[in-house]
Amino acid sequence: MDERRFVVWDADGRPLGAFPDFDTAHEWAHVRMRQARTRLPLTLDDRVAKVSRRLSHARCELVAWAEFAVLPGCDLPALGAAAAAAAGDTARRQPAQHSRS
């Protein structure tokens, strides 16, 4: 992810470009902002540092991300248990094959 860690998005959430360093991404975003049909504001995300820059004609704002809650939702052990239970259920439904000796 570090190769292209800086991503520029338009106002509709479409990625416009990805860059290896902030300065290149920031300069490119300011140039792109002046082009016709560019939906503003643009957002330049740094997913590693968890910050964004929101660019418009009026200003260039720094937005720091904050994790305000961690909610349960995807317990991998529970998913593994559910998959094992489903596999066991499938095995029970198949007729047993007995060998005669």
Please check whether residue 97 lies inside any domain of the structure.
Answer: no
**23 within a domain of the structure (yes/no):** yes
- 44, 61 Cβ separation under 8 angstroms: no
**Residue 100: inside a domain:** no
Name the phi and psi angles at 38, rounded to 5. -85, 125
Domain that holds residue 85: 1-91
How many domains does one find in the chain? 1
The answer to whether residue 81 sits within a structural domain is: yes
In a domain, 70, yes or no: yes
Evaluate whether residue 101 is within a structural domain: no
In degrees rounded to 5, what are phi and psi of residue 84? Answer: -65, -40
pLDDT in tens, 22-73: 999 999 999 999 999 999 999 999 999 999 999 999 999 999 999 888 888 8
pLDDT at 8 over 90: yes
Quick check: is 36 in a domain?
yes
Confirm whether 64 is domain-assigned.
yes
